[in-house]
Structures are given as structure tokens and as C-alpha cells.
Amino acid sequence: MSLPRYRCNCGGVLDAEVSSSSQQLDNTPDAATGSASWQRLFDERASRLATWPSRRGNALLDASGVWRYRELVLPLPERFVVSRPEGNTGLYPVGTANCGSDRPGHRQIGLYAGLEDFFLKHEGENPTGSFKDRGMTVGITMANLLGAKAVACASTGNTSASLASYAAQAGMRSIVFLPAGSVAPGKLAQSLAYGATTIQVRGDFDDAMRLVEQVCDELSIYLLNSLNPFRIEGQKAIAFELLQQLDWDAPDWLVLPAGNLGNTSAIGKALQQAYRLSLIGRIPRIASIQAAGANPFYRSFMSSFASREVVEPHTVASAIKIGNPVSYARARHVIEMSDGVVEEVSDEEILAAKGVIDRAGIGCEPASAATLAGVHKLVARGIIKGNDRVVGVLTGNLLKDSVTGIAQEIGSVVVEPHIDAVRAVLS
Ligand SMILES: *Cc1c(COP(=O)(O)O)cnc(C)c1O
């Protein structure tokens, strides 16, 4: 394999663009045929989801919540693609007005947020339990095209779980670098179970990141961190899919947790693309939420991006415990382009929001709850209005981190195996 490059000469990250001539696969619409035919195409593909394993000819691609949008992601024939398929995650109406009377539990989330028209997109419903699968299917597909035998990443846990799973499917070796002691047990277990060579670095994520870049250069291993532009292309599909679920009626706000800022970058890019194709009539405002102890992007935002900040990160939300975000420049552009905001929330606010999501029966990992904590704060500050239509992204599954915040939430009792003991507890 010849050595691919991941960075620009200036040191910045690269961006993938699909040229308009290669956008026309099969019988797909061109720009001139307009938004209705794109919508029809994506809807037709989605309708074949249930029966894909028994079909031929792009059935897997159509069933994937990433490759369904392949003209806007990476136009490739099915034989090159490594897919589970992923995506097709739930979009839950949880606002006080849009939540049906059959879901009083979910309505508690709308009450907490202070929003009438509120949805949660649960990316924890992806195959390995986080949105990272959307980027990884495209990243591993690219590694496959390049003939890579081994792939690697540094990770706060979810990227490594996803990498290990997709590499195993594709028959590649995977090597993951994790910050020792800072990875939730569920994520570490996934990497090990899927067979990744798992290296815990005595340091934080940013140290692991520096090491993996050096190792990949030295040993010609394909690097699949979020500085890899093809992962960003796959993550754009979170936005395409939720817009499709809203029948292409764009919300006022899109809110998500922010660590390395790959997701902020990807979603912003997708919204711009959807707007250019007239799939949506306006671009939602984006709110990126950081943990107060890992808030370099928030600090830059507060200085109107006068300077790029780096911090030593501390937070219970390990998936966003990042002090020097890789996709800073892309994400800055997204916040500016969408008239967006960056907010910070304390660990206490994150755990309180997690309790609300968990007890509604939906559940998520701590970093994901930053979304609801941020919404709660932005509504209280009057930046998001109570009648705005808002979509929040939950990035990871409850089971990823089954420890943090759980003891405070519920507590658990152990009883003797007699009905009297149970009666005493329930009375
Ligand atoms: C990776 C991750 C994030 C942060 O996303 P970035 O693209 O790094 O900003 C948030 N939540 C979860 C669960 C994650 O796995």
C-alpha cells in the first residue's frame, strides 16, 4: 500500500469532496431534476430495508443509513463496501406538544428541556452502540479499497469499539490506542472481544492521538481517526437520515455533544449539502455542547474564535474528554456558517440530564446527555425559544458506560428470597 496522507501541508486536516460528475451513479437524479427526485430516491431505498439480506443488487447499500445517501457520501459499487448495515436509528418525539399521549414517560424529557417540539435522535442504536459506526463503515471501506492489512486509531473508547468490529468483519488487523484508566468498561470490552490489539497509553486522549499518528507513518498502517476525511463523510448521514425522518422539513436547531468536533463538522457539512440540493429550505442553527472541564471549543467561541485554545481535560463524560480537538477549524466554520452557538455544561448538569433520559426509558451514555443538559441551559438562557423545533443527538448507548451516574440515580436493594422482604421494599 502506498502511504496515504491525512494532513494538509499547513498541518490542518483534509476534506473529501465528491466531484459533480461522479455524483451520478446508476439512474440517480442530477441537480437539474431537483429535490423531489432526490427525496423519492432516498425514500424508495429506505423502503427496502426489511428484506435486504435476501436481495441482490445494492440491497445492502440501500438498507444502510449511510450508503443509502451514497451520492452525497462516497459513490461506490456495493462490492467494495464494508457495511453491517448501520444507521436507521430512532428519532423520538419527546417535546411537550409533539410527544403522543401514549408516551407520558418520554414527555418528561420535553418538560425538563422546556420545549414543545423536541426530538432525540438515538445514535446509540447503531450496531456497536454509537454514531462512530457511520464514519467507520466509510473508513474501513476506504482501507479495503487501498488494500490495507491493518488499521489503527486513538480513541476515548467508541471509535476503537467500532474500528475493531468493522476490521474484524473485513478480515483486517486492528490496533487501538486508549488513554489508560479513562475508558468506560463496556467500550474496552468491545475492543478486546472483537480482537483488537489494545494498547493503553499512560496519558490522555491527546497523547494517544500523537502516538498513533507516529506509529501509522512508521508502519504503513491505515489511520482511522476522525482526522481521516472519509469518516467525516460517513457521519454526515446522521443529518441526512434525521432530515428524511422529518420528511425534509428542517428543524430550527440541531444540538450535539462536542469533543474532537468531528461530528459538529460532519453535520454542518451535510446540512450545507442538503441545502444546496434544495432537500431542505434552510440550514438549522447548530449548538455544540462541551463539558465545562473539557471546553477548549467553548473558550474559543467566547473569544469570537480570536484564538484556538487547548486545555487539560477533566469530565465524567469520557467520550468528550478531549483538550485539543482535531477538527477545530472545520467545526469553527460550521458554527459561523449556521449562526450556531457553543455552550458548556458541568458534570452535575450532565448527570442530571442523563437521569432524565434514563428514567424516561430511553437511556444514553454520559457524553450523550450533554445534549439535553445543553438544551436545558440554552432554553433557560432564552437562546433556544420554547416553541422552536429542536433535534438533539444522543451519541452513545446506555450500556457503554453502565457505571457513571447510575448509583446516584437509582440505588438498588438486595432482599432475602421471601415475599415479606419484597413487600417491605414496595410498600
Ligand atoms: C465520539 C463521541 C462524542 C464526540 O464526538 P466528536 O466528533 O469527537 O466531537 C460524543 N459522544 C459519544 C458517545 C462519542 O462516542
Q: How far is the CA of 368 from the centre of ligand 1 (A)?
A: 8
Residues shown for the chain: 427
Q: How much is the pLDDT for 7?
A: 80
Q: What is the CATH number of the domain that holds 390?
A: 3.40.50.1100
Query: Which parts of 12-157 fold into alpha helices (H)?
Result: 35-46, 59-63, 104-113, 132-145
> Lowest-pLDDT range, 93-107, 127-141, 214-228, 276-290?
214-228
Q: Is residue 54 part of a domain?
A: no
> Lowest-pLDDT range, 27-41, 43-57, 227-241?
27-41
Residue 252, pLDDT above cutoff 90: yes
Q: Is residue 11 part of a domain?
A: no
Q: How much is the pLDDT for 2?
A: 58
Q: Is residue 296 part of a domain?
A: yes
Q: Is residue 362 part of a domain?
A: yes
DSSP string, 31-69: GGG-HHHHHHHHHHHHTTGGGGGG--SSHHHHHSTTGGG
Q: How much is the pLDDT for 404?
A: 87
pLDDT tens-place string over residues 350-373? 999 999 999 999 999 999 999 999
Average pLDDT over residues 420-427: 92
Q: How much is the pLDDT for 232?
A: 96
**CA separation for the pair 404, 401 (Å, rounded):** 6
pLDDT tens-place string over residues 74-126? 999 999 999 999 999 999 999 999 998 999 999 999 999 999 999 999 999 99
pLDDT tens-place string over residues 62-78? 999 999 999 999 999 99
The one-letter code for the residue type at 134 is R
Q: How much is the pLDDT for 8?
A: 80
Strand partners, 13: 7
- Is the peptide bond prior to 179 cis by the omega test (within 30 degrees of 0)? no
> Lowest-pLDDT range, 125-129, 130-134, 309-313, 408-412?
408-412
Q: What is the dihedral of CA 256, 257, 259, 262, to 10 degrees?
A: -20
**CA separation for the pair 169, 82 (Å, rounded):** 8
Q: How much is the pLDDT for 204?
A: 87
pLDDT tens-place string over residues 193-232? 999 999 999 998 889 989 999 999 888 899 998 789 999 9
With beta carbons less than 8 A apart as the criterion, state whether 63 and 69 touch: no
| Confidence band, pLDDT 50/70/90 cuts, at residue 35 | confident
Q: Is residue 372 part of a domain?
A: yes
With beta carbons less than 8 A apart as the criterion, state whether 235 and 227 touch: no
DSSP string, 246-265: TTT---SEEEEE-SSSHHHH
Q: How much is the pLDDT for 406?
A: 76
- Pocket residues for ligand 1 (CB within 6 Å)? 130, 132, 158, 226, 257-264, 319-320, 365, 367-368, 395-396
Residue 32, pLDDT above cutoff 60: no
Q: Is residue 190 part of a domain?
A: no
Query: Which parts of 277-327 fold into alpha helices (H)?
Result: 296-302
Q: Is residue 15 part of a domain?
A: no
Residue 408, pLDDT above cutoff 70: no
Domain that holds residue 269: 91-127+232-400
**CA separation for the pair 266, 135 (Å, rounded):** 10
Between 414 and 270, where is the model more confident?
270
Q: Is residue 330 part of a domain?
A: yes
Pocket test of ligand 1: the residue of 395, 397, 401 to mutate, having most ligand atoms within 8 Å of its CB, is 395
Q: How much is the pLDDT for 409?
A: 54
Q: How far is the CA of 128 from the centre of ligand 1 (A)?
A: 14
> Lowest-pLDDT range, 152-156, 196-200, 202-206, 253-257?
202-206
Residue 30, pLDDT above cutoff 70: no
Pocket test of ligand 1: the residue of 231, 232, 233, 260 to mutate, having most ligand atoms within 8 Å of its CB, is 260
Q: What's the structural domain count of the chain?
A: 1
Atom of ligand 1 nearest to the CA of 396: 13
Residue 1, pLDDT above cutoff 60: no
With beta carbons less than 8 A apart as the criterion, state whether 248 and 280 touch: yes
